[in-house]
A and B are shown apart, each in its own frame.
Chain A
Amino acid sequence: MAAVSQGFKTDLLGAIPSLRAFAVSLTQNADKADDLVQETLVKAWDKHESFQPGTNLKAWLFTILRNEFYSQMRKRGREVQDSDGIMTARLAVHPAQHGQLDLKDFRGALEQLPEDQREAIILIGASGFSYEEAAEICGCAVGTIKSRVSRARTRLQEILKISGEDEYGPDAISTQVTGSPAS
């Protein structure tokens, strides 16, 4: 086995904050998330030769983390998600500004989404991946990611009773999908 390069190690270190954020998003539990990140780092280290330099390391790591998460879930037989409020207690809640949606409420709504929708909306809306990258990470079609994101968004709006976004809704989406008419 070839030695792991110093650059690879540095890049792994740099990816840890993102990996932890994604892990918390998936597990909804800080302790489980860190265990998941640990497993991911060990796996990434072991199979570092299968990473192609120049490709997206973050996407590669997210793929490993996600596979690990679902394989653990299968082993445990889908135990009930964290309900003791570890995350809620652990993270500081910022007071709502301008009477806008409270982050705590948002977190609660996010928890109610099915995993596939939650990961899709996180990958696209927060982690900064393209639909193509997210599809690769999740091992599914681009269209599947699009529909999961769309359902997640609709569901979040329902849970949070957000109104007044309709004008940015379907039209903005179709504009996005078909390319901007402004170009």
Chain B
Amino acid sequence: MKDMTKDILAGAESRRRNGSGDALGPNSEIGRKLKQYYDELVSDDVPDRFSQLLSQLEQAEPAQKKD
């Protein structure tokens, strides 16, 4: 019970530091799964279409056109 209390306080402290995580911290199975789910999505390879898109936007920019 003592350890558990310590864990909760440690968790609350780390959540407070992160400014987020309302009971979704490392103590929570939901919190862990949520991060696992999201981290997997974030680490997905970014298709080339996006860097191509930004290059196109850059080239099409009126301010960069010279007469």
Give the B-binding residues of A (Cβ under 8 A): 1-4, 9, 12-13, 16-18, 20-21, 24-25, 34, 37-38, 41-42, 45, 91, 100-101, 103, 106-107, 110, 121-122, 124-131, 134, 146, 149-150, 153, 156-157, 160, 162, 165, 167-169, 171-173, 175-177, 179-183
Contacts and interface: CB of A to CB of B under 8 A. Distances in A.
Given A41-B53, A180-B13, A165 B20 contact: no
A17 B43 contact: yes
Nearest to A93: B40
Interface of B: 4, 8-9, 11-13, 15-16, 18-24, 27-31, 33-44, 46-47, 49-51, 53-54, 57-58, 61-64
A128 B19 CA distance: 8
A122 B35 CA distance: 9
A4 to B, nearest CB: 6
Contacts of B41: 20-21, 24-25, 91
11 contacts: A16-B46, A18-B42, A20-B44, A24-B41, A25-B41, A101-B29, A106-B34, A106-B37, A150-B22, A165-B30, A181-B9
Given A42-B57, A125-B35, A153-B23, A162 B51 contact: no
A9 B30 contact: no
A168 B28 contact: yes
Contacts of A24: 41
Contacts of B53: 38, 41-42
A161 to B, nearest CB: 11
B30 A3 contact: no
Contacts of B4: 167
